[in-house]
Every structure is written in structure tokens, then in C-alpha cells.
Amino acid sequence: MTLEANGGRAQVLASIRQSLGRAGPAPQPIVPLPGSGPRPAFEGDLVEHFVAKMREKSATVQRLDSMAEVGPAVEDFVASVKAAPRLCVSRALAGVDWPAGLEIACRAARRDDETSVTPCLAAVAESGGIVTLSGPDTPSTLNFVPDNHIVVVREGQVVRHFEDAWARWRASGQILPRSLNIISGPSRTADIEQTIQLGAHGPRRLHILLIAD
């Protein structure tokens, strides 16, 4: 950031403080208000509700017993959609035992990448959504550039409401990332003759590998 940009930022913050009657930054850390607002209620098993919501949104879900099954499951999915056996994988998943038939690259996604594999922070059962954080090991391009996005979700990461996902992030001790993304299904648009088209602005397939804890 340039000195000019820093100076402009300082001027904007100073103007806001003046309008609020403050002389400087808050002397004490900002603490969230106690309690929470109303949250939608729903019945049934949390994980099953998440699975049903994601399938409603055109995602596919595969249940696995352990992380040891991730590599073969990814290989089968890539073959089923006739994609190249080259994967762009988050470094957070570098420890997975990948089949010899797959070519693995741990880096940000490029336009010629067909398939990416990422972890997540949480999965929200309320309305169906996967929360991902950007960072050196999880660049956001993995979520949006390749045609096929495979997400590894542990059942223990499924939370009831979005507020629970924020609580999970705060408890993790991680600093605020550059971006936080909520993925609720493949990319879609109805701009063309009001007909739903998948993959217009991002992945045309979202495949979830749901790992039993």
C-alpha cells in the first residue's frame, strides 16, 4: 500500500471518529453483544439436513468412512466426469494418500485447471453452505476457477446455523483472512432466456466428500 493510500485511510478513519465524538481508536477491545438474534429452527439430524440442502442446490455428496478413502474417491469422480487426472489441491490436503494415477499440484488454480480439491472451515446445515477461508494454503482461486470443485467436509464440521460457523472461526484463533467464501452449490445463472445454466461464472460441479468422524 502506498503512503498516499495510507494517508487517505487515516483521514477517512479520523473523519469517522470525529462524527462519533471519539478522539482515537477504542481504548478497549470490541466485545460482541451477549446473546444472539432469532435463528430458524429445523427438525431432524444435522448432517442429513446439510446433505439434503446441498443436493437441492445441485451439489453431489459422497459419504466416506475415513480420510483414507479420499484419494480413490477423487480419482473415481474425475474419471466419471471425464476430466484430466490432474488436480490442483490445497496444501492443507497434501498429506492425503493420492493414487499414482493422479497428478497433484499444490498451488493456486489457473484457467487450464479442470479440478480442484479443498478443505473447509465449516458446513452450515441451516440452508446449505460451505464456508472456506482464503490463505497461503487455501487460495480462493481453488473455489472458483476449475470446472470441478471437490470439497472435503468432516461430519464434525457441520454446524446448525451460520452464527455457529463464526463462533468456530473465533475459537480457532485464526486471524481474519483476506476473504471468506460461502459456497452453496455450482455456479449458475438464468441470464440466458431465463434458463438455468451451470458453470457460467465458476465451477459447473460441486462434489462434497463427507467424512464420518
Q: Walk along the chain (213 residues) and give the pLDDT tens digit of each residue.
A: 444 555 688 888 888 888 888 877 777 777 777 777 788 888 889 999 999 999 999 999 999 999 999 999 999 999 999 999 999 999 999 899 999 999 999 999 999 999 999 999 999 999 999 999 999 999 999 999 999 999 999 999 999 999 999 999 988 888 888 899 999 988 655 555 655 555 465 688 999 999 997
- Whether 14 maps to a domain, the answer reads no
31 occurs within a structural domain? no
Burial class (CB in 10 A: 0-12, 13-18, 19+), 208: buried
Domain count for the chain: 1
| CATH number reported for the structural domain that contains residue 174 in this entry | 3.40.50.10420
**In which domain, by residue range, is 135 found?**
44-211
Residue 81 lies inside a defined structural domain of this protein: yes
Q: Report yes or no: 88 and 109 within 8 Å, Cβ to Cβ.
A: yes
Residue 156 counted as domain residue: yes
Asked if residue 15 belongs to a domain, the reply is no
Flag whether 96 is in a domain. yes
Q: What is the pTM of this model?
A: 0.80
CA 203 vs. chain centroid, Å, equals 13
Residue 86 cell numbers, joined: 490432474
Q: Are 123 and 159 in contact (CB under 8 A)?
A: yes
> Which has the closest alpha carbon to 136: 114, 157, 163, 107?
107
135 within domain boundaries: yes
Is residue 11, in this structure, part of any structural domain at all? no
